[in-house]
A and B are shown apart, each in its own frame.
Chain A
Amino acid sequence: MRKPKGALAILSTVITMSLLVTACGGAKSSNSSDPKSSGSAGTADTAKLNIMWWGSQERHDATAQALDLYTKNNAGITFSPQYTDWDGYWKKLPTLAASKSMPDVFQMDAAYIQEYVSRGLLEDLTAIDLGGTIDQGVIDKSKIDGKLYGVPLSYNGTGFVYNKPELEAAGMTLPKKDWTWDEFFAFAEEGRQKLPAGKYAIGDYTTVWNWYQDYQMAYGKGPMFQDGTKLNIDKDLWFTFQKKYEDFRARDIIPKAAVSAATVENDPKADPLLSGLTMTRGVAVGAVSALEKMMPGKLEVVNNPVGPNGGGWAQSTMYWVVSKDSEHKEAAAKFLKWIVSDPEAGKILKTTRGIPISSTIFDSIKSELSEGELLGIEMYNMAADKAMPFAPAPPGWADFVKTYSDTMTEVMFKKKTLDEAFDVIMKKGEDTQARLAK
């Protein structure tokens, strides 16, 4: 009699446990991202939109608040938000894409959008009505093969900030909009003549692959990665460029290798600009405000040096996109129009996704923008007309970028000659190409 009782006890425990677990999950999953449970499909009036983004806690909080407001104004539209950090996001999204369960609306980055478009995962949004709040030029720059797949969100781009009072005190020529690469190098040499010892006009960006890429693109030889699979380094240009920096290093026109290596960007003590080591620093639009905060009133901005083909880049690198598999495309489009053009939404979201590129939202928060953020926009505007296309390292090239930077560090420290470094980099490029071609 006792034996079956024991068995029964165990069995029933197992069953109860599994039931408990399932019941728990069942109740909670009612607000999960299951597309089947998301209300009647198709209409723009009632829908449960799955929405996903990456970012900081601040962005999460603001976005959740904006979604609540939208639900309040549009009864019938609810959201099932998910958010994570940058790395996790790009690990999770491929699984969702492969299982055809991508959220209706999600955030997209310029480094990845090409890949998702080419796999046919994103809805063509060319016809979307953005309420005329985003500049046509910006929209055109965001298009891929003539179609708009992502609604651009914020100003981004590259340029330089410079320490105006110190440059003026030394009697240096100030950088000006659309300075050429020759003027840029001349500016560096002038720095050696006029600046006190231990101070430099420019920093040493030898290890930064896209700093060279900027040069190559300016001289019309195209981006370093083509179609995401081919490496394109123009040998002559590369050597011209690198020899210039090698020569500068030898003549103390740029800081010594050990000094450059010890700099930490945005660190209050080790940042080259903040510490007074260099008079200029390359910076992204979004990062200008952080620098301005630490050196209030001292900084001015200028775009990247230009060549015959232009210089630097200036465009949005963050987008909202709609999944091709979404059952609520209409509702999604309507929501996107709202979030990029409604001043109320703008007031909630503020600059949590960068400085808003939409004019109505920008106007609605303009008075709240800091000096630094306005300076960032000034930089964007300077760079916009000569800007070249944004060319990030495509997925799969992270290793190569690491090798590039490591190898060039060795060059800086004279552990490798330029010829040796070039061979190492090209070899790594070929390996990566072969791996991606598989």
Chain B
Amino acid sequence: MELSRSRSRSVLIHLLMIAASIVMLYPVFWWVGASLKDASEMSSAAIWPKKPVWDNFVKGWNFSKEYTFARFFGNTLLMEAWNVIGAVISSSLVAFGFSRIKFALSKFWFAVLLMTMMLPGQVTLIPQYIMYNNLGFVNSYVPLVLPHFLGGGAFFVFLVCQFIRGIPRELDEAAKIDGTSTFGLYYRIILPLILPALVNVAIFTFIWSWDDFMSQMLYLNSIDKYTVGLALRMFIDQFDVQWGQLLAMSLLSVMPSALIFLFAQRYFVEGIATTGLKG
């Protein structure tokens, strides 16, 4: 009796949750279906087209005369790789410095760091552009990658800082007694311990810079350097949008982020639990 009641309750809950998931996932289903529709079926509400057209993927992939989407994916992944490396190194180093090393005005500098977090991106956009333009870095990946190497994401520094503060200082002291240098302390003691936080930093850097359309558009001019985000825009003309191809290619474009979410989920959840950060 007791058992069957709890079972029927769990069935009910599951049914409700499945229904809710279907509602939430409806746009995704529609998206997948629409990427296989031709123009005449695009406006119909049906999820699956009467006649699936795989052509959208083929034509979309080869849309540009000069390059295929392989090039754009390559560009983006290359940029992303540097971004992630830069963010992980710089955020862990800077955070280590702030949370473990005593130096003059460290509280003040930390406050300054936090203030850069509050600064809206629009404010720095134009001065930054002027700077990179004067340095001759426009139309290269430097303006997109470099900030990550310079502790660009104040938020990540803050995040890792909080994480390091949770690590007992006794570990440091023990290591110091054993004769490690300050850098050794970072490299041998702290770094392995903050790995979950760094996975978080890596994932979010990846996803945020994948989505950061504005600066990619601003700094990359020539098509050979286009990222996926920019390349997707080529399907949109002032009056005419190649919806089928656009949807097909944008479906592919979210794959890397989706896959990373899928495979890094374990670390990710661990990271959220220990840092309190939510997507």
Q: Using CB atoms and an 8 Å cutoff, list the residues of chain A in contact with chain B.
A: 3-4, 6-7, 10, 14, 17-18, 21-22, 24-26, 28-29, 31-37, 54-57, 60-61, 80-88, 91-92, 95-96, 98-101, 264, 267-270, 286-287
Contact = CB atoms under 8 A, between A and B. Distances in A.
Contact of B136 (A6, A36, A86): A36
A24 B141 contact: yes
B65 A87 contact: no
A101 B64 contact: no
B43 interface: yes
B181 A3 contact: yes
B46 to A, nearest CB: 14
Contacts of A91: 214, 217
B141 A54 contact: no
Contacts of A25: 137, 140-142
Given A84-B230, A91-B214, 13 more contacts: A4-B183, A6-B184, A6-B188, A7-B183, A17-B86, A17-B149, A25-B140, A25-B142, A28-B139, A29-B139, A35-B133, A36-B136, A87-B236
B33 to A, nearest CB: 18
Contacts of A286: 239
21 contacts: A3-B188, A4-B183, A7-B181, A10-B187, A21-B142, A25-B140, A25-B141, A26-B136, A32-B138, A34-B134, A55-B238, A61-B65, A84-B233, A87-B233, A87-B236, A88-B230, A92-B217, A100-B130, A101-B129, A264-B43, A267-B43
A99 B187 contact: no
Contacts of A264: 43
A14 B239 CA distance: 47
A interface: dominant SS: helix
A26 B142 CA distance: 9
Nearest to A286: B239
Interface stretch (B6-14, B98-106, B218-226): B218-226
A82 B222 CA distance: 6
Contacts of B137: 25, 29, 32
B181 A85 contact: no
A3 B126 CA distance: 43
Contact of B134 (A28, A36, A61): A36
Contact of A28 (B140, B181, B240): B140
A287 B43 contact: no
Interface residues of B, number: 48
A25 B223 CA distance: 15
A99 B133 CA distance: 9
Contact of B237 (A32, A85, A92, A268): A85
Contacts of A60: 223
A138 B39 CA distance: 37
Nearest to A268: B40
B61 interface: no
Contacts of A95: 125-126, 129, 218
B228 interface: no
Interface of B: 39-40, 43, 63-65, 82, 85-86, 89, 125-127, 129-130, 133-134, 136-142, 145-146, 149, 180-181, 183-184, 187-188, 214, 217-218, 221-223, 225, 230, 233-234, 236-240
Contacts of B240: 56
Please name the 7 residue pairs, one residue from A and one from B, whose CB atoms are nearest each other, closest first: A25-B140, A32-B139, A25-B142, A82-B221, A7-B183, A86-B238, A99-B130
Contacts of B221: 32-33, 80-82
A35 B260 CA distance: 40
Nearest to B187: A6
B237 A55 contact: yes
B234 A29 contact: no
B232 to A, nearest CB: 9
B139 A33 contact: yes
A287 B239 contact: yes
B217 A88 contact: yes
Contacts of A55: 237-238
A270 B89 CA distance: 56
Given A21-B145, A56-B240, A264-B43, A37 B136 contact: yes
A129 to B, nearest CB: 30
A189 B218 CA distance: 53
Given A3-B184, A17-B82, A61-B65, A29 B136 contact: yes
A4 B180 CA distance: 10
Given A6-B184, A33-B138, A91-B214, A99 B126 contact: yes
B139 A86 contact: no
A57 B142 contact: no
Contacts of B141: 21, 24-25
Contact of A85 (B64, B127, B130, B236): B236
A101 B142 contact: no
